[in-house]
C-alpha cells in the first residue's frame, strides 16, 4: 500500500512536468552551466586580473550580470558539486568528501537532482567533463558497464572524467563504458591501496615526468604525468592531457548542435585550473603567470566556443548561461609546475584571503557571471549574496516545478537574485572548508568558529603560496567585518562578542 501511494504521488508530481515539457515557452530558456575547477576570484580580467586576460568571459559579463558576492558551498570540489546538483549541504552526508577515483556513486540513484528536475520539465540533459561524485556501487569494473553514474541521477547523456585529472583511471567514460576501449587483452585495472602492474610510477621513473610531483601524486605515469593511485592496462583509451579542453569543447558543441530544436540543460564541467596543469600548446605562454594562468586562458577559450556555437545556432538569446567555479584557487597542489615561481605578482584570490581548502573568503567566494538577454540586465554588477546550493530550487522555480518536501533541503528559490533582480539575495551563506569547522557569513560579518584545522591545508598556502599568504591560521575563532576588511586581516571577536554569538547560533541552527 505504501509503495502504491508513493508511485501515485510521484505520478501526480510528474504530470505538470509532462504537460509543460510539450509546450514552447519564450520565458523558459535553455540552461548552460559552465563550471570551472580551482579558478579564483581574482583570476579573470573582468574581476581585476591584469596578467591573465579573459576576453570571452569579459564579454559575457558585459552582456549579463557579474556577481561580487557569489559562493560555492565548499572549498573543495566533491562537496561543492554534490551541493550544486542535490541542493543539500555536503556536510549532511558523511561520504561527501573529496573522493578517490574508484569511489561508489555519492548521489542516490533516482534522486530529484537538478538534472532530474529539469528532465522532468522537458529538458534534454547532459554532463560533459569532470564528475568526481563516484561511480558504481563499490567495485568498479572499468572493462564492462560502469553504473550507476550520471545517467542514474538525471542526465540523459554523459561524457565524463570519472574523478579528477590527477587521479586514475585516466580515461573518459561515455555513458556506461570507457570511451575508445575494447581490447579484452589489455584490461583496465585500478587500485588506490597498493601498486599494480608494471607501468612506471613517479617514484620509480621520475626522469619520465613532465614536472616533479609530491609522493601522493607519484603513482602510475600516464602520458608524462604521474597520478594519485595506480592503474594498469587500457592504454588505447588514455586521455591526452593537452587535448582535454578541446575534446570536452567538441563534445559540448556536438550536444548543442544535436539539441538545437530541444529544450536542453548542459552541465559543462571543465578541469581548468586543476592540477596537473597541461594546457594545449596553443595556450602555453598566453598569460603572464605561467601554466596556471595559461590554463585560465584555455578555460576562457572554451567559454568563447560555447558562445560562438550558441550564436551560430541562433540560441544565444534563448539560453541562460551561468559561469562559476567549484572552489577557490591553489598554486602548489602536488606538482612542481612553476605556478608559484611564475605567478609574477598575480593574486588568484584578488583582494580576498586564502583559497582552496581554507575557511577564508578566497576558498568559497568565486567568480560568477549570469547571462540571459530576456531577463538579465546588460553589464550589471550585483552584490547580492548568492550560493550555488540555491540553484536547484531557483531553476525549478524558473521552469515551474514544485519540489516535494524533503527534496533539496537546503536549496531556496533565489531566482530573482540570480537574475540580478534582487540586490540582497540570501540572508547568510555557509562555507565548508577542509576539516570539521564550518564558517558563516551574514551581511558584512564573517565568523569562523574555534576548532582544529588541517595543518597541511594552511601549509599549502602559507608555505608554498606566496601570493595567498597571510597571518597564520590558528585554532582560534575569528570574526571579520568584510565591508571594511575584505582581506580578513583583523580579528574583531573580542570587540564584538555579541555578533559572534549570534552567528554561532545561526550556524548551529543550520547544522541541525
User: Rounded mean pLDDT of 181-189?
Assistant: 86
The pLDDT-based confidence of 471 (bands split at 50, 70, 90) is low
* pLDDT score, position 459: 59
Cell digits for 414? 533565489
Beta bridge partners of residue 220, listed in sequence order: 201
CA–CA gap between residue 269 and residue 35 (Å, rounded): 5
Q: Quick check: 464 pLDDT over 80?
A: no
Q: Residue 470 — very low, low, confident or very high, per pLDDT cuts 50/70/90?
A: low
How far apart are the C-alpha atoms of 503 and 512, rounded to whole Å? 14
Per-residue model confidence (pLDDT) at position 19: 41
Banded model confidence at residue 375, pLDDT cuts 50, 70, 90: very high
CATH architecture assigned to 29-188+233-426: 3-Layer(aba) Sandwich (3.40)
pLDDT at 445: 98
CATH of domain 431-511: 3.30.1120.10
Report, as an integer, the average pLDDT of 277-304.
98
pTM above 0.85, yes or no: yes
Question: 3-class SS at 319?
Answer: strand
pLDDT tens digits for range 117-176:
999 999 999 999 999 999 999 889 999 999 999 999 999 999 999 999 999 999 999 999
Tell me where in the chain the CATH 3.40.720.10 domain(s) lie: 29-188+233-426
CB 154 within 8 A of CB 113: yes
CATH 3.30.1120.10 domain span(s) along the chain: 431-511
Taking a C-beta distance cutoff of 8 angstroms, is the pair 370, 320 a contact? yes
pLDDT of residue 4: 40
Amino acid at each position: 500500500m505504501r509503495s502504491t501511494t508513493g508511485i501515485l504521488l510521484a505520478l501526480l508530481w510528474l504530470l505538470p512536468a509532462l504537460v509543460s515539457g510539450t509546450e514552447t515557452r519564450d520565458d523558459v530558456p535553455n540552461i548552460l552551466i559552465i563550471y570551472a575547477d580551482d579558478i579564483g576570484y581574482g583570476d579573470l580580467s573582468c574581476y581585476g586580473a591584469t596578467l591573465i586576460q579573459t576576453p570571452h568571459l569579459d564579454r559575457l559579463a558585459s552582456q549579463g550580470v557579474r556577481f561580487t558576492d557569489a559562493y560555492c558551498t565548499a572549498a573543495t570540489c566533491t562537496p561543492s558539486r554534490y551541493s550544486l546538483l542535490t541542493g543539500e549541504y555536503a556536510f549532511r552526508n558523511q561520504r561527501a568528501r573529496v573522493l578517490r577515483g574508484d569511489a561508489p556513486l555519492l548521489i542516490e540513484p533516482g534522486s530529484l537532482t537538478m538534472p532530474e528536475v529539469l528532465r522532468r520539465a522537458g529538458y534534454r540533459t547532459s554532463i560533459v567533463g569532470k564528475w568526481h561524485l563516484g561511480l558504481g556501487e563499490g567495485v568498479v569494473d572499468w572493462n564492462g558497464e560502469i553504473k550507476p553514474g550520471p545517467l542514474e541521477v538525471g542526465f540523459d547523456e554523459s561524457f565524463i572524467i570519472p574523478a579528477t585529472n590527477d587521479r586514475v583511471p585516466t580515461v573518459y567514460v561515455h555513458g556506461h563504458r570507457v570511451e575508445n576501449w575494447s581490447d579484452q587483452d589489455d584490461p583496465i585495472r585500478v587500485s588506490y591501496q597498493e601498486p599494480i602492474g608494471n607501468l612506471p610510477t613517479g617514484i620509480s621513473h621520475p626522469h619520465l615526468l613532465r614536472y616533479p610531483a609530491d609522493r601522493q601524486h607519484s603513482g602510475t605515469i600516464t602520458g608524462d604525468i604521474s597520478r594519485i593511485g595506480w592503474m594498469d592496462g587500457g592504454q588505447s583509451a588514455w586521455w591526452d592531457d593537452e587535448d582535454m579542453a578541446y575534446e570536452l569543447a567538441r563534445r559540448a558543441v556536438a550536444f548543442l548542435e544535436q539539441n538545437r530544436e530541444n529544450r536542453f540543460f548542459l552541465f559543462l564541467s571543465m578541469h581548468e585550473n586543476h592540477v596537473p596543469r597541461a594546457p594545449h600548446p596553443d595556450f602555453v605562454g598566453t598569460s603572464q603567470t605561467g601554466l596556471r594562468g595559461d590554463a585560465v586562458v584555455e578555460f576562457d577559450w572554451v567559454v568563447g566556443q560555447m558562445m560562438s556555437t550558441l550564436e551560430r545556432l541562433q540560441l544565444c538569446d534563448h539560453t541562460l548561461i551561468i559561469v562559476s567555479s567549484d572552489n577557490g584557487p591553489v598554486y602548489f597542489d602536488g606538482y612542481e609546475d612553476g605556478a608559484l615561481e611564475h605567478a609574477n605578482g598575480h593574486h588568484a584570490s584578488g583582494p580576498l584571503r586564502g583559497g582552496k581548502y581554507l575557511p577564508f573568503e578566497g576558498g568559497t567566494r568565486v567568480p560568477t557571471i549570469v547571462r540571459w538577454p530576456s531577463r538579465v540586465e546588460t553589464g550589471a554588477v550585483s552584490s547580492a549574496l548568492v550560493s550555488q546550493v540555491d540553484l536547484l530550487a531557483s531553476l525549478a522555480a524558473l521552469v515551474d516545478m514544485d519540489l516535494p518536501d524533503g527534496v533539496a533541503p537546503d536549496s531556496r528559490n533565489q531566482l530573482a537574485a540570480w537574475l540580478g533582480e534582487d540586490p540582497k539575495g540570501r540572508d547568510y551563506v555557509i562555507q565548508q572548508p577542509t576539516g570539521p569547522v564550518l564558517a558563516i557569513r551574514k551581511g558584512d560579518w564573517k565568523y569562523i568558529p574555534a576548532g582544529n584545522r588541517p595543518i597541511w591545508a594552511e601549509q599549502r598556502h602559507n608555505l608554498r603560496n606566496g601570493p595567498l599568504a597571510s597571518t597564520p591560521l590558528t585554532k582560534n575563532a575569528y570574526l571579520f567585518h568584510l565591508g571594511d576588511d575584505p582581506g580578513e586581516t583583523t580579528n574583531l571577536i573580542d570587540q564584538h562578542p555579541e555578533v559572534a554569538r549570534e552567528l554561532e547560533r545561526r550556524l548551529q541552527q543550520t547544522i541541525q
